[in-house]
A and B are shown apart, each in its own frame.
Chain A
């Protein structure tokens, strides 16, 4: 490890061995694609698929992952944790809260550094956050190389949507120093969405997706429009108040209070007791995501007193309600920010470790209509493990682009290619939508429509449309006369609102006629919107020759 590896640059596409890395504040994971293009999250040498983003030094020896996490109790001064967000930032703009129980960040030449004893002897050295990230990535790379048996030399790394250019540059630099060529940095929510869309059973469809990435120290929510497999982020929200550590804190406080009742001392006041409490709370939280009961037991929690207790899920959900409600508000806020209604959301993807909590998924299911698909382990049995989504998505993207020259990748991700016009309104055949709004142009959609039973000439009317939310108030059912029934207390409530999404026909764009259609035939209408918003419409009967073709000039 001590030997400095030469920065990997410009490996030819044929020699690339690429992996996907999800580099989080709390945990990182690595994924590879197997021969049949299936992404797989791989375990490190300790058998962990979620590798804590922690590096620790004991007598000059480097530990990472779970082993380093254990060092938070005994050796917190030489343990660096939660450093991802410090990358590329100056000292003034970082929030060092989470590093209170580990090595403290310091200001160092306009960047952030840690003073740790990383050698066996001598003075503690000052290591920049960039160097820490490099060491961490090097360990991840080593784990992946050991697993695949090939020297890994390139990676796609996921980043939050609000990473600045400076942070991206810092991450790229750290990865390059670790001997990894960064093929692309992709946004975490998009990686999660890609992981779902790449499943063989999923179809390309036009949909609006909310990706809730609930992590250890922060929660990020994004609304993404997926149109013909192309993704556009409509809105994002970032929250540092409602995240996994806050759920841990609820449990910590709960058990600490219980401990005080028995022993009279507060374990939160001692550094070592606090670290033990923290680790065990996290374990209990994870256990509660799987079972309805969980044990909490720490040996020698404070002043030599052991502590053991149990908690059930219901109690946990009650005491954690404040935090859990925070997630709901977060997700409602971001849907509003995107200018959409919950009815217009087709899918909610829960990603990140905190998404295992069943209550969160249940809460989300209550917010969105029944038609919305909530992809979380507790609501959908086929859901992918939320902790693995991002790494999988990154690995898939890596397998897609690894055979391209890095120059090609740069050019393709250039704003000239990625910034395109998006339709404001949907375009479609009368009363039936074709293109969705927010579709990026150029776009093409084909629809098959039945003709009337007897065939003959038909009219194809191309219109613009907009969805809107229709609210109807239903009167409480009084008419059936059994008012005295003990049945429902609900009927006393105010009239229930029924909300539905309907399409409104807007501007008529064009009309076309398809003549002499056969009985029981179908008409194929192809609408093609070019980059300059010129529209080409082709209508023909399926299986017949000819057809009608017309063009609308650009506005």
Chain B
């Protein structure tokens, strides 16, 4: 916001007698504003949004932005290449560059394979400024430029992606040793092994590499991790450790022999490396409490299923037996009940029969008591007629009516009363057209 408009018209001269408090005089305030929506687009809007959201004023925002920008520059400079130089390293001979630790030479040993190209360039510059032979000579030292050559060689290797990869492949200083069983015991298992696999993951062609995790990792995470490392696709190669191939044209056979030898050595080392990694993963897995836990959980859940099934079967069987027993009991009960019922009906039938017999006797007795409704000695024909009528009536009425009639007759002594009952009964039956009037001989 440093832009400003330039106006060439001159300002008026201060009129005489103008005065204001601190040279300023407030006269009015500006008119009311209207609400509008601005378009959320463009760099200036972003600045506006930043100010609005953080409630900054223009000058505050300018200051904070400036600070942030300034800080970035500082960040770029700090945080590296301040490692102390090992005096023995300074005495190195550039000829055995294969043995030298290029990262240490440039002061990047804490970054190693993680060092960016930019970091390497700046580290190189810094070292050159310090160790250039001219600088040494100026400081009164020897004109020994061997360490300078080391620096140049290190930069050459590290700035060439192919060479750097070859060096990183054999850079064992970046490896993390697998923890011993004892060290891994006191709850540090995950932390220590994490570091090992983090370092190992740098060789993977597939990035990012899954993390080892900790005791809270899920089964999926753990499985993914072990699957990844069992199918590890490594870019690691061992050209860097090749023996020097003679560069003269003199001995072609010798050269080819060396090349073959180197190739075989590379292959062998690669196989060894794969085996090493496999063993590493095996070791980690063997001691991994999570695997055991997952297995137990899986077993538990499997067993649970089995037990559940058995329980269900048992329950079903029990229920079936119960049902069967109940059915049998029901059948038995029903049979008993039927038997009792049969017996009771038989008894009551017999009783009813006996009652009917008795009542009939009462009836016959009643006509006999009434002397067959004749005065004096009853002639055989009268007796027959009356008894025939009685039997006729008896045959037409059921047990209840018999009992009723017998009750009426039982206490009667007078022949007229008895006859009246009998004639009434006969009349009832005739009215009910159970018997015919003509069939009645004496009791009409």
Contact = CB atoms under 8 A, between A and B. Distances in A.
Interface of A: 184, 186-187, 190-191, 194, 197, 203-204, 224, 228-234, 393, 397, 400-401, 411-413, 415-425, 427, 429-432, 434, 438, 440-442, 444-453, 456-461, 464, 506-515, 523-524, 528-531, 533, 535, 537, 548-555
Given A190-B41, A459-B15, A549 B31 contact: no
What does DSSP make chain A's interface, helix, strand, loop or mixed? Answer: strand
Contacts of B51: 442
Contact of B39 (A190, A421, A429, A553): A190
Given A464-B30, A552-B28, A552-B29, A417 B23 contact: no
Contacts of A422: 33-36
B58 interface: yes
Interface in B12-49: 12-15, 18, 20, 22-46, 48-49
Contacts of A531: 52
A233 B10 contact: no
Contact of B53 (A411, A432, A438, A461): A411
A83 to B, nearest CB: 26
Contacts of B33: 421-424, 441, 533
Interface in B36-78: 36-46, 48-49, 51-53, 57-58
Given A230-B44, A511-B18, A444 B30 contact: no
A441 B33 CA distance: 9
B316 interface: no
Closest 10 CB pairs of A and B: A229-B44, A550-B24, A421-B33, A446-B4, A457-B14, A412-B49, A413-B40, A458-B11, A231-B39, A190-B39
Contacts of B138: none
A263 to B, nearest CB: 53
Contacts of B39: 186-187, 190, 224, 230-233, 418
B31 A512 contact: no
B30 A191 contact: no
B341 to A, nearest CB: 72
Nearest to B40: A413
B51 to A, nearest CB: 7
A11 to B, nearest CB: 15
Taking each of A194, A229, A524, which has the highest tally of chain B beta carbons within 10 Å of its own beta carbon?
A229
Given A186-B40, A231-B39, A419-B37, 14 more contacts: A229-B45, A230-B44, A230-B48, A400-B42, A412-B53, A417-B53, A419-B38, A423-B31, A447-B6, A457-B13, A458-B12, A508-B27, A511-B20, A512-B23
Nearest to B4: A446
A485 to B, nearest CB: 41
Nearest to A534: B29
Nearest to A204: B3
Nearest to B34: A422
16 contacts: A184-B40, A204-B3, A228-B44, A417-B53, A423-B31, A423-B33, A447-B6, A452-B10, A452-B12, A458-B11, A459-B15, A511-B25, A550-B24, A550-B25, A552-B30, A555-B29
Given A230-B44, A417-B49, A434-B5, A533 B29 contact: yes
A191 B11 contact: no
B11 to A, nearest CB: 4
B380 interface: no
A431 B10 CA distance: 11
Nearest to B3: A204
Contacts, number: 225
Nearest to B36: A422
Contact of B9 (A232, A450, A459): A450
A509 B38 contact: no
Interface residues of B, number: 48
B8 interface: yes
Nearest to A427: B30
Given A420-B38, A451-B10, A513-B23, A533 B30 contact: yes
Contacts of A228: 44
B64 to A, nearest CB: 15
A248 to B, nearest CB: 32
A85 to B, nearest CB: 21
A191 B39 CA distance: 10
Contacts of A397: 41-42
B7 interface: yes
B34 A450 contact: no
A552 to B, nearest CB: 5
Contacts of B325: none
A298 B43 CA distance: 49
A450 B124 CA distance: 53
A204 B44 contact: yes
B38 A450 contact: no
A231 B38 contact: yes
B38 A549 contact: no
A537 B1 CA distance: 16
Given A449-B7, A555-B29, A230 B42 contact: yes
Interface in B108-155: none
A535 B29 contact: yes
Contacts of A548: 22-24
Contacts of A419: 35-38
Contacts of B38: 230-232, 418-420, 440
Nearest to A421: B33
Contact of A448 (B4, B27, B48, B57): B4
A510 B25 contact: yes
A194 B41 contact: yes
Taking each of B4, B40, B48, B51, which has the highest tally of chain A beta carbons within 10 Å of its own beta carbon?
B40
Contacts of B24: 510-512, 537, 548-550
Contact of B12 (A197, A233, A459, A510): A459
A294 to B, nearest CB: 37
Nearest to A401: B46
A231 B46 CA distance: 12
A509 B9 CA distance: 20
A168 to B, nearest CB: 13
A253 B332 CA distance: 105
B295 to A, nearest CB: 33
Nearest to A419: B37
B40 A418 contact: yes
B3 A446 contact: yes
A444 B43 CA distance: 16
Given A419-B35, A511-B18, A528-B58, A412 B40 contact: yes
Interface string B269-288: 00000000000000000000
B1 A450 contact: no
Contacts of A444: 1, 58
Contacts of B43: 229, 400
A450 B25 CA distance: 21
Contacts of B32: 424, 533, 555
Nearest to A424: B31
A448 B11 CA distance: 10
Contact of B30 (A187, A425, A430): A425
Contacts of B36: 232, 234, 419-420, 422, 438, 440
Contacts of B31: 423-425, 464, 506-507, 555
B29 A509 contact: yes
Contacts of A458: 11-14
Nearest to B47: A229
A424 B28 contact: no
